[in-house]
Amino acid sequence: MSHSFGYVRVATAVPEVRAGAVRDNLASMLGLARDAARQGCDVVVYPELAITGYTCADLFAQRLLLDAARAALMDFAEATAGLAPAFAVGLPLAVDGRLFNVAALIQGGRVRGVVPKTYLPSSHEFYESRWFVPGTDGVRDQVDLPGGAVPFGIDLLFRAEAPSDLCLGIEICEDLWAPVPPSSLLALAGATLLINLSASNDLAGKADYRLELVRQQSARCLAGYAYCSAGVGESTTDTVFGGDCILAENGAVLARSEPFRRQAHLTIADLDMAFVQHERQTCTSFAQAGRGGSGSAPGSYREIRLDTPRAAARHDLRRAVSPRPFIPADPAARHRRCQEIFAIQSTGLATRLHHVGATRVHLGLSGGLDSTLALLVCLEAFARLGLSKDGIRAVTMPGFGTTHRTRNNAELLCAHLGLNLDTIPIAASCRQQFADIGHDGTTADVTYENVQARQRTQILMNRANLLGGLVIGTGDLSELALGWCTYNGDHMSMYGVNAGVPKTLVRYLIDYYAEDKADPATAAVLHDILDTPISPELLPPDDDGRIAQKTEAVVGPYELHDFFLYYAIRCGFAPRKVLFLAEAAFRDTYPPDTLRRWLRTFLGRFFSQQFKRSCLPDGPKVGTIALSPRGDWRMPSDASAAAWLADLDGPPTA
């Protein structure tokens, strides 16, 4: 189904339903169908048995109701012939003297296939086996409808011609609650969008469980999942239905309906089928399960081709795109994430120290973000091991660009934390190095900068030899992605505690420590560090003694580079798709030309700087992205970026 960059617009549609009022139900369903088509939807999912209502009970044995439902199905197909979406409609259907609870998939005025419910509940509230038989009891592979014979069975897949990543699999309500849901096998057989026509009643606490069930199934199946439940119009004789609708993708809930709405309503989101396929291609366990490694491999499925819809290509996006994909938006979730990451960093360092028998660490403390976080991690690691914090040997090494603000913050931070801070100026030794190599000592070129960075690393390494212990690296994931580090300078250490932490997350981790662990005086220093412009301070300050060399003015805003890193590397998206998402996320912050410029910078640097990542020291992975050459990211140092840059410069994809 056509959408730029592989997105499929999916709607759940909860009509105004009354038990047994087939024509009224049909009218409400058609109203939603037209509305969904106007909004550019590709797939529309209705609740279970929506044509008749789920709560008809013994009325399902009435031929009058069954005939009315079958007629309404054909009327729905005829009325939607000119609409682009594929519609999944629920109804009771009699076949060979058996009654099935089915979902009929309709597109272009025709019923393309009918899928019966596999698992029937027999609880106090529901006793479906009184009226229906399970889908496994079907003895035919097609059913006769007024328009002709239609494929019938639990073995149907519906594949779209475009995008080729879209393949629909259908299950009904209780199917999802089974130990091995049909959707699991459908996903292994190729279904990328799983849809569930449901009638799930509401009980105290059930909504949360249902949400988690849908979310987990979308994650386990590496799929999109559209769940549509019956609304408040169903009979309330013994139970109440709230119309719960959930749209999820790979474990993320993209949209959820407001509960207990009395009006007919749609819940819409764009699901990314291309990302689903990317995740499956990179997940070896998914491929293994598809080959039968799990003991529940899919059987033989019939594939039904859907037409390419006639809807025009869309350039909007019906899903939230966070400008900070590494940072949870919810404050409570963000706090838990920071707590967890800080524990991973400090535990990694503590385990390494314990393994090598080290009781001392050395790190350069600049008064900037990265070295501050590394110092806090060291402090926590020493506490975990019960070691004296006297073993934390922080060193400030003022050079040609060091400002009073950063040096003062380094000194205050150590004072408030009760740590010793040694000061070793590097200006004289750098001037000697300039003289030794024939540099004039005044030209502010790359040599001028890198001599300082390498001198600091040399001091730390030599002190570690002299006094014992490990040199702790401070560079973060964003700097590694951009290669914004001096080879064999700040690029090198004996353990890099920040190697898995992107720059945008570094800020939140320091803020977490300030709010959760620090006393007021220490917190004040940490907040000033957070407010300090990011700089390597390798060039002289301005006339007022302030930082003149601002990193983000040179390489671009880190919030953009972290965004690019997530979508280009974590998700494997092509540059034009990354740009499309960036325009959605930063529409109120950066103009498109600025986004394109910095994305070009990111791509160029990411490819050209791989040689620095190919020899990284050890460091803990804390999230879904890491650039370690030993596992997470293996790339030739001389790979060409030409194809990626050409894609960025190409015409918009429709």
Give the span between the Cα atoms of 303 and 190, in whole angstroms: 10
Q: Which residues contact 528 (CB under 8 A, 6 or more apart)?
A: 405, 409
Structure tokens belonging to residue 393: 């040997």
206 catalytically annotated:
no
Contact (Cβ atoms closer than 8 angstroms) between residue 550 and residue 542: no
389 catalytically annotated:
no
Encoded amino acid at 652, one letter:
P
- How far, rounded to the nearest angstrom, does the alpha carbon of residue 490 sit from its chain's CA centroid? 31
Comparing CA positions, the residue from 616, 575, 2 lying closest to residue 273 is 2
Q: Specify the residue for token string 């006339």.
A: 543
Let me know how long the chain is: 654
Residue 246: CB atoms within 10 Å = 26
Comparing CA positions, the residue from 647, 303, 614 lying closest to residue 483 is 614
Phi, psi at residue 78, to the nearest 5°? Answer: -65, -40
Give the span between the Cα atoms of 175 and 179, in whole angstroms: 9
SS3 state at 158: strand
Contact (Cβ atoms closer than 8 angstroms) between residue 320 and residue 271: no
Report DSSP state, residue 238: S
Distances (CA, A) of 211 to 251, 352, 521: 11, 40, 43
Distances (CA, A) of 173 to 73, 177, 193, 228: 20, 8, 16, 9
Give the span between the Cα atoms of 313 and 3, in whole angstroms: 6
SS3 state at 577: helix
Distances (CA, A) of 152 to 104, 574, 583: 9, 39, 44
Comparing CA positions, the residue from 416, 488, 500 lying closest to residue 450 is 488
Give the span between the Cα atoms of 215 and 200, in whole angstroms: 16
The b/e string for 409-432 (b: 16+ C-beta within 10 A; e otherwise) is: bbbbbbebbebebeeeebeebbee
Residue 85, preceding peptide bond in cis (omega within 30° of 0): no
Comparing CA positions, the residue from 126, 95, 305, 304 lying closest to residue 198 is 126
Residue 232: CB atoms within 10 Å = 18
Marked catalytic residue, from 56, 117, 279, 503:
117
Give first-to-last CA distance, the chain, whole Å. Answer: 12
Marked catalytic residue, from 167, 173, 414, 571:
173
550 catalytically annotated:
no
Give the span between the Cα atoms of 460 and 374, in whole angstroms: 15
Give the span between the Cα atoms of 389 and 377, in whole angstroms: 12
Give the span between the Cα atoms of 178 and 176, in whole angstroms: 6
What residues are annotated to the active site? 48, 117, 173
